[in-house]
């Protein structure tokens, strides 16, 4: 555990040192963006500006800079929001980002854009390397299983969790079933809880969801 903390501390020091070596000057704010008027704007390079608004933010690339972004990552709008799409900019212009930022960008691309990530470098991702790929594998594996979409501790059956489940965990106009799961057995996985038809029986008794809704 100490080695992990040491690695994190070292990474932070290196990140801060690299940040100081990068030129990201503040420029005049007020630009119009998809997220509102920019309150703070920083130029990473000619044609590459990071805008921050009251609610969100992201990069704007001019035509020439945007052409550098790989076609599978490129946004025709020339804007890249700050939660996930910023990683596309970091991939196209790695020299404008720190080692830590590049590592985070690679993780973000794998997690949120796995199809493009595989095609760009010709890599093959498994579930442990991409949250979205893992989710896709989960959905494929359990498309015919009952997956919980809502759960409450049962007021009517102490020690149990009342669950509402659908096939594949699909929400919307689909058939639902209720199940009782022992509280000690109800551990939510990365993408949800899958009903075991042998251990978890269908339940059609009084519902805690009715009393919960009445209290809201």
Per-residue pLDDT tens over the stretch 118-151: 888 777 776 567 777 788 888 888 999 999 999 9
Q: Is residue 136 part of a domain?
A: no
pLDDT at 206: 83
DSSP letters spanning the chain: -HHHHHHHHHHHHHHHHHHHHS---EE----EETTEE-SEEEEEETTEEEEE-SS-EEEEE-HHHHHHS-TTT--TTSEEETTTTHHHHHHH-GGGS-HHHHHHHHHHHHHH-HHHHHHTTT----GGG-HHHHHHHHHHHTTTSEEEEEEEE-SSSTTEEEEEEEETT--SSS--EEEEEEGGG----SS--B--TTTS-B--S--HHHHHHHH-
Say if 77 falls within a structural domain: yes
- How many separate domains does the chain show? 2
pLDDT computed for residue 45 by the predictor:
97
Q: Are residues 8 and 99 in the same domain?
A: yes
- Co-location of 53 and 91 in the same domain: yes
What does pTM read for this prediction? Answer: 0.66
Q: Are 94 and 153 in the same domain?
A: no
Can you give the residue range of the structural domain that contains 91?
A: 2-130
């Amino acid at each position: 555990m100490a080695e992990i903390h040491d690695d994190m501390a070292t990474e932070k020091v290196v990140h801060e040192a690299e940040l100081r070596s990068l030129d990201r000057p503040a420029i005049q704010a007020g630009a119009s963006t998809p997220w509102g008027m920019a309150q703070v704007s920083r130029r990473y390079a000619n044609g590459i500006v990071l805008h921050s608004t009251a609610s969100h933010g992201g990069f704007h690339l001019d035509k020439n800079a945007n052409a550098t972004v790989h076609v599978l990552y490129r946004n025709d709008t020339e804007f890249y929001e700050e939660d996930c799409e910023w990683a596309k900019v970091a991939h196209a212009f790695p020299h404008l980002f720190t080692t830590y930022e590049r590592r985070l960008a690679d993780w973000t691309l794998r997690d949120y854009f796995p199809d493009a990530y595989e095609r760009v470098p010709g890599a093959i991702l498994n579930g442990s390397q991409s949250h979205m790929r893992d989710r896709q594998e989960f959905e494929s594996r359990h498309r015919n299983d009952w997956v919980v979409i809502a759960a409450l501790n049962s007021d009517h059956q102490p020690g149990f969790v009342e669950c509402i489940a659908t096939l594949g965990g699909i929400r919307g106009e689909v058939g639902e079933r209720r199940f009782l799961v022992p509280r000690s057995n109800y551990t939510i996985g990365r993408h949800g809880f899958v009903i075991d038809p042998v251990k978890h029986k269908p339940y059609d008794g009084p519902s805690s969801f009715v009393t919960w809704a009445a209290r809201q």
